[in-house]
Amino acid sequence: MIPPDSHLVLPATHPTPLLFHGGTAYRSSLRFDPTTGSRYRRRMCSMSSPVCCFGEGSWRRRRTKGGLKVEIDSGGEDVLDAGVAAESRAYPEHLVVMVNGLVGSSADWRYAAGQFVKKHPDKLVVHRSECNSSKLTFDGVDLMGERLAEEVLSLVRRRPEVRKISFVAHSLGGLIARYAVARLYEQSPKVVQSGDAMQGADKKPYEDRIAGLEPINFITFASPHLGSRGHKQFPILCGLPFLERQASQTAHLIAGRTGKHLFLTDNDHGKPPLLLRMVNDSDELKFISALCAFKRRVLYANANFDYMVGWGTSSIRRQNELPKSTALRLDEKYPHIVYIEPENTENKHDRTSSSSLVEQTMDLEEMMINGLTQVPWERIHVKSYWLNSDGADVIYHMIDNFHI
């Protein structure tokens, strides 16, 4: 919980113009069919500031349907059990933030949010983020991460009862969430009960917090953690080098700054590509420390039939490390799940023969893999693309294994 005098305040950033480009934007899924309408008009506040203002005066409306209470305001939609919400003394302490992907909206997570609350009515309140919807997803991972961080801070201030936080993100939303949690990361002095003493050298005198809350789950679905550049990371290009080069050179024409970030062609003020910077801690943002703060990190990756996000980039694997087809087996309870890798910190890359020259010329993908595998990940491999009620068993798998 963030106290009233919390020091966790996002620094001001210089206004960055929105990049609305012509052409047809690619969706992150062939099955996306999010509802559209007035919600896009709500986000026009972003045109004057790179970080939306979710002040105390933000408008709010409520509705109840099917036992679920949905509270809608300018910062997104909160979903919780209607019965629990009616109890003045009972309120869920675990906040789940759900983040959409490219050209998506909060509607993309409607089905999953409802199932979450039905399974844990007295434990969870689910927030479907709205700050990065439609064409706002072209503004760049950093800008969208700043928006999401500000939205989460506003949400936590509005709900002082919450004590824990988890993130569930789809496609591009996984990168946005990674940036946001780095912005929200802080270390709080550990409270030691009288008579107790910290034992062992591994006992830290501080506690890792995200937005002042205890971080529990960080889960991504089909997220391009290694970007979309080469190595079959953008499957619709069929791994053809010529097409992959062309995509890198023209991505910004379709997806603005986000396209540059995904294809690692950004060069802001001479800095390395943003996705490369996001695999290590820096003085300003603790990207890896923030991920490490979560009790578990989970990657759901599509083994096939995802034409926008490659298997390797969504599972943070080298191509030669991906499970062999002979290892893929259907799960009777979860038919879309074909392979589950337990949490593993081992980096299988053999560095014994690496020279300083090889290290210097190591490609960007290799550096990102080495950086992101500093923390352990659970990997869940899925046989085909799904979302909402399509392949509902994948949603159930996530919920059944969710740490409360």
For the chain, domain boundaries: 57-186+203-400
Q: What is the pLDDT of residue 149?
A: 98
- Is 110:230 a contact under the CB 8 Å cutoff? no
- Which tens digit of pLDDT belongs to each residue from 212-221? 999 999 999 9
Position 34 confidence tier, pLDDT thresholds 50, 70, 90: very low
**Distance set, CA 221 to CA 68, 183, 263, 303, 365 (Å):** 24, 21, 19, 12, 19
Side by side, which strands form the sheet with 296-302? 60-65, 68-73, 76-81, 124-129, 94-99, 164-170, 214-221, 296-302, 377-382, 337-344
Beta strands 377-382 and 337-344: pairing type?
antiparallel
Element (H, E) at 185: strand 185-189
- The maximal CA–CA distance of the chain, rounded, in angstroms, is 67
pLDDT winner (highest mean) among 9-23, 247-261, 345-359:
247-261
Give the bridge partners for 172, in sequence order: none
- Which tens digit of pLDDT belongs to each residue from 356-379? 433 433 589 999 999 999 999 999
CA nearest 35: which of 102, 134, 107?
107
Q: What is the pLDDT of residue 386?
A: 54
**CA atoms of 4 and 23, how far apart (whole Å):** 46
Q: What is the pLDDT of residue 77?
A: 85
- pLDDT beyond 60 at 44: no
Architecture of domain 57-186+203-400: 3-Layer(aba) Sandwich (3.40)
Q: What is the pLDDT of residue 372?
A: 98
pTM score, whole prediction: 0.77
Q: Which residues contact 382 (CB under 8 A, 6 or more apart)?
A: 300, 301, 302, 303, 336, 337, 338, 391, 394
